Structure 1
């Protein structure tokens, strides 16, 4: 038995936690739309979330901690993913904004930088851009 079998794969645990954060954001308004479900399905494949993990995460009573990546670009990618799930239904409501700020801080952003990144990101996400453009625009 390998070390990762004994204690679990830390990267996979982070992926599950990130997926759970996106699912929580998608469900924050009480319903997961078809667009949000489609995007969650794409992220599940991207993050290698098994069917059983997917079902477990989607249970309303489950709570998963955010495990922030050490790398700042990876943190930005996680935040980018969160914005993609929020904007899947083309709107961002107050409850999503509150959760988004909590997740941004959980990812390692200070309150001040979280507010700036969120403000810029909301402006950017009014249109569709890819991650490289998003990363450049938020950093500059």
Structure 2
């Protein structure tokens, strides 16, 4: 049980470290990004000491490939929440999320398509048909 909890927590730390790296990719973490990181720290059971360590050091946690398709999408959804906390996605954030999507196990072509659709959803620029499909699910 301890081994599972340790692996689970390590996975959560790695995910949080990626979120923090994404938030800081444009130079510094703004107040909106910090608020979202605080929520994720609570949700992922990140201690204050771990939080501070992750924010001060280069990301030392590898991306964990997810075997579950749902977990892959959940991780990407979390990243897009961080990216769009300031209602904007810059080129460096897009490059980082593309690398992360591939690291999660999405094929390169699929990753690009998912990211483009996610950007459309998060910016509110989706066609009615897609909106309607999403609302029906």
Q: TM-score by structure 2 length?
A: 0.86
CA gap 1:109/1:54 in 2 versus in 1, 3 angstroms = same
Counterpart among 2, 7, 18 of residue 21 in structure 1: 18
Q: Is the 8 A contact 1:56 1:62 kept in 2?
A: no
1:81 paired residue number: 78
Q: How many residues align?
A: 128
Structure 1 position 3, deviation (Å): 4.9
Secondary structure of the corresponding residue to residue 19 of structure 2:
helix
For the Cα contact (< 8 Å) 1:66–1:103, is it kept in 2?
yes
Write the distance in 1 (CA, Å) between the matches of 2:38 and 2:106: 27
Aligned to 2:61: 64
CA contact (8 A) 1:67 1:107 kept: yes
The aligned residue for residue 98 of structure 2 is: 101
Cα gap change, 1:54 to 1:118, in 2 (>3 Å):
same
Q: Is the 8 A contact 2:18 2:59 kept in 1?
A: no
Superposed CA RMSD:
2.0
CA distance in 1, matches of 2:37, 2:91: 21
How many angstroms does 1:66 deviate by? 0.6
Check whether the contact 2:23–2:82 (CA below 8 A) recurs between aligned residues.
Answer: yes
SS in 1 for 2:123: coil
| Structure 1 equivalent of residue 48 of structure 2 | 51
Give 5+ residue unaligned stretches, structure 1. 128-133
More helix by share: 2
More displaced stretch, 54-63 vs 98-107: 54-63
The CA distance in 2 between the partners of 1:56 and 1:12, in whole Å, is 15
TM-score normalized with structure 1 length: 0.84
> Partner of 1:130 in structure 2?
none
